[in-house]
């Protein structure tokens, strides 16, 4: 996997007031930690971060983080966002070793068209957005692609059914549903209407039987 260089500036000012001032100036406060190193407070330019994470790997991009003349292989550990604006307000970087495994969340991407499912008035539903895996930074996939072309109505693709790239291991429950099939809203409404008519008919028959018994 290729790396993307991201420049950062050491940060000495602490506190919420200093952080607000940095954000107003287009900087994002953050911290770099990992492998027994003393955590380093830093800032990155909002535009530079957006460019660095714009590749196919997104937030799982392997970074060559430059801080105060030092270079660190790192990945984004956590992005904190503004609750309304959804802009990044703080970022945690994790220094990594290229030979040691890390745990990351990898996006799920569905490929193909399940025509058999669509013909039954159903939809294919991605039950989870990401899958947690363990791998070395060099083996970290940009996404996990699942081919849904052969799915049939009622099928469920579980974690154990997914073929992962070499060197990548899923950490979750093997029985966890990843892709399922669902009835469309129209199909669900028709099914509910049919059940209602059936119950009404049964109620009518029971009432008639009661009348007969009374006679």
pLDDT in tens, 168-203: 999 999 999 999 999 875 554 555 555 555 555 555
**194 located within any domain:** no
**132 located within any domain:** yes
| Res 100 pLDDT > 60 | yes
Residue with tokens 């990594």: 96
pLDDT of res. 3: 83
* Nearest one of 80, 150, 145, 147 to 115, comparing CA atoms: 150
pLDDT of res. 184: 73
Q: Which residues pair with 81 in a beta bridge?
A: 88
pLDDT of res. 67: 95
Average pLDDT score, the chain: 86
The range of the structural domain enclosing residue 142 comes to: 104-188
pLDDT of res. 38: 92
**Together in a domain, 91 and 109:** no
Give the residue from 69, 96, 123 where a domain finishes. 96
**Together in a domain, 69 and 86:** yes
pLDDT greater at residue 179 or residue 24: 179
pLDDT in tens, 115-137: 999 898 899 999 999 999 999 99
What is the average per-residue pLDDT within 80-96?
Answer: 91
**Together in a domain, 8 and 92:** yes
pLDDT greater at residue 97 or residue 15: 97
**195 located within any domain:** no
Per DSSP bridges, beta strands 27-34 and 88-95 are parallel
**54 located within any domain:** yes
Helix (H) / strand (E) element for 157: namely: strand 156-158
Residue 144: give its domain's CATH number. Answer: 2.170.120.20
**33 located within any domain:** yes
pLDDT of res. 175: 97
| Res 4 pLDDT > 60 | yes
**199 located within any domain:** no
| Res 10 pLDDT > 60 | yes
**162 located within any domain:** yes
Residue 31: give its domain's CATH number. Answer: 2.40.240.10
**Together in a domain, 90 and 150:** no
**Together in a domain, 108 and 42:** no
Non-local CB neighbours of 24 within 8 Å, separated by 6+ positions: none
**215 located within any domain:** no
**Together in a domain, 115 and 67:** no
Q: Strand runs (DSSP E) across 35-69, as ranges?
A: 37-45, 63-67
Q: How many domains does the chain have?
A: 2
Residue 17 pLDDT level (bands cut at 50, 70, 90):
confident
**Together in a domain, 70 and 45:** yes
- Distance, in Å, from the CA atom of 95 to the CA atom of 75, rounded to the nearest integer, reads 7
Confirm if 32 and 95 have CB atoms less than 8 A apart.
Answer: yes
Query: What's the whole-model pTM score?
Result: 0.74
Give the residue from 96, 128, 150 where a domain finishes. 96
Residue with tokens 């953050």: 30
């Amino acid at each position: 996997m290729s790396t993307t260089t991201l420049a950062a500036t050491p940060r000495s000012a602490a506190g919420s007031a200093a952080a607000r001032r940095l954000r107003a100036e287009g900087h994002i406060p953050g911290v770099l930690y990992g492998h027994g190193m003393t955590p380093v407070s830093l800032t990155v330019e909002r535009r530079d971060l957006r460019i660095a994470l714009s590749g196919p790997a997104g937030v799982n991009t392997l970074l060559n983080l430059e801080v105060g003349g030092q270079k660190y292989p790192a990945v984004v550990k956590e992005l904190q966002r503004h609750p309304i604006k959804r802009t990044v307000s703080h970022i945690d970087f994790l220094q990594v070793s290229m030979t040691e495994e890390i745990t990351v969340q990898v996006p799920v991407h569905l490929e193909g068209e399940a025509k058999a499912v669509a013909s039954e008035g159903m939809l294919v539903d991605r039950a989870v957005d990401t899958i947690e895996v363990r791998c070395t930074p060099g083996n970290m996939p940009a996404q996990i692609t699942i081919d849904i072309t052969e799915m049939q109505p009622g099928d469920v693709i579980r974690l154990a059914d997914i073929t992962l790239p070499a060197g990548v291991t899923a950490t979750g429950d093997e029985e966890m549903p990843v892709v399922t099939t669902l009835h469309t809203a129209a199909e669900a409404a028709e099914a509910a209407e049919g059940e209602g008519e059936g119950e009404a008919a049964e109620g009518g028959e029971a009432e008639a039987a009661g009348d007969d018994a009374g006679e």
